[in-house]
Structure formats: structure tokens, C-alpha cells
């Protein structure tokens, strides 16, 4: 028998969507639209909405031939590989620089940050005057959950491997040169690399 309580609970679920443990039990792709990210943003950003997504990390035969511990970004296929040795690698889907902003080279990780803040460079602000001059770390920040700062022999390249608040851009060439990953993927990669890790962008 339907009761007033049953009707109220049903209406609440229909209005706001499934959350919590129930949402985690939903099959892919329905769980894309409910539940939190794997790691929560700082409390100051708790009012923002995060979208739970499936990680792209896959253990594959290593196509790069790179030594163990080296990161390779294949801009053409839009995959990032972390070489594990013994012919194996972890592969992640990434987003890369759009036409006119793609690049290649040998760099290294010089800094790591969790829930990084973001200060757009002047050249970007000239192209996009609508952007804020500073944004604190959090779910709404375009750098996402983690950032790996890429340097070369001349210093900071200005490019990062970072998370994103636009998960639908993974697999696309839409950035200003940074390598973007799903938050859940960059959180995983972050635990596997360190300052000094070599990164080859091809």
C-alpha cells in the first residue's frame, strides 16, 4: 500500500536523482550522472556539483618503448602512457591542444599540486578577457583535482598535465596546450609519478 511517506520519498528521488550508495550501484553509463567524484574538493567548494565518471586507466602492451617510469603523451591518439617496464604500460585517455596550440618535446615534472589554484597567463587573458584573473582550487577550477607542472631546460613551459571540470573533452583536441585528464585518472597518475619524472609529448 502506498503511504504519504512512500510517495514523498519517491518524489524526492525523481526530483534530485539517485545519490550515495544507491548511485554507486547503477550500471554504466547511468552512474555518470550521479554521485560524487572519487576524491572530494576542498570544503570551500563543497557546494559545486561533481560528475562521477568511469576511469579510462587500462593496462596495455607498451607501444612507446620508453624506460620504466617515463610518461609519454601521444597527441595523435590522445592517450597518455606510463611505462611500467617488462613491455607493459598504464594507458589513460587525455585531451590535448587544439589546432595551433599542439606541441611536442621532452619535459619533466617539476612540481605537483593537489586541487591547484589557477592564474591564467596574460596571453590567455588577452584571448579570453572573460576569464577570472585568479581561481581557487576546487571542483569548478579548470585544472581539476591534480596538476603536474611541466618544465624543460629553460624553465616552466606553462603546460600542465591536469584534471578537468569538463570530462566530455577527454579524447578531443580543445585545450590551449595542456594535457587534461579525468579527475579520477589524474588522481591515480599523481600517485605513480614524482618530481623529476620524464614526460615525452609526441
Active site residues: 162, 178
* Sign, Cα dihedral of 6, 11, 12, 16: positive
Partner residues linked to 109 by β-bridges: 150
**Three cell numbers, residue 73:** 603523451
Helix (H) or strand (E) segment spanning residue 107 = strand 105-114
Reported for 41-44, long-range contacts at CB under 8 A and 24+ positions apart, including other chains, are 41/115, 41/137, 41/138, 41/139, 41/145, 42/115, 42/136, 42/137, 42/138, 44/136, 44/138
Residues contacting 138, CB < 8 A, separation 6+: 41, 42, 44, 45, 48, 115
Contact 138, 115 (CB under 8 A): yes
Q: CA distances (Å), 133 to each of 121, 128, 198, in order?
A: 9, 11, 30
Amino acid at each position: 500500500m502506498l503511504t504519504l511517506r512512500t510517495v514523498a520519498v519517491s518524489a524526492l528521488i525523481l526530483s534530485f536523482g539517485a545519490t550515495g550508495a544507491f548511485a554507486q550501484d547503477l550500471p554504466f553509463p547511468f552512474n555518470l550522472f550521479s554521485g560524487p567524484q572519487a576524491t572530494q574538493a576542498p570544503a570551500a567548494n563543497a557546494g559545486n556539483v561533481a560528475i562521477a565518471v568511469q576511469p579510462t586507466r587500462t593496462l596495455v602492451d607498451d607501444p612507446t618503448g620508453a624506460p620504466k617510469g617515463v610518461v609519454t603523451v601521444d597527441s595523435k591518439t590522445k592517450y597518455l602512457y606510463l611505462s611500467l617496464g617488462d613491455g607493459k604500460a598504464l594507458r589513460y585517455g587525455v585531451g590535448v591542444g587544439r589546432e595551433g596550440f599542439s606541441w611536442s618535446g621532452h619535459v619533466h615534472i617539476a612540481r605537483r599540486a593537489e586541487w591547484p589554484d589557477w592564474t591564467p597567463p596574460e596571453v590567455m587573458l588577452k584571448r579570453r578577457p572573460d576569464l577570472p584573473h585568479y581561481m581557487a582550487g576546487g571542483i569548478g577550477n579548470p585544472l581539476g583535482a591534480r596538476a603536474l607542472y611541466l618544465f624543460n631546460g629553460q624553465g616552466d613551459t606553462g603546460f600542465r598535465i591536469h584534471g578537468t571540470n569538463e570530462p566530455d573533452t577527454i579524447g578531443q583536441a580543445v585545450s590551449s596546450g595542456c594535457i587534461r585528464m579525468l579527475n579520477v585518472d589524474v588522481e591515480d597518475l599523481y600517485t605513480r609519478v614524482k618530481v623529476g619524472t620524464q614526460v615525452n609529448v609526441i
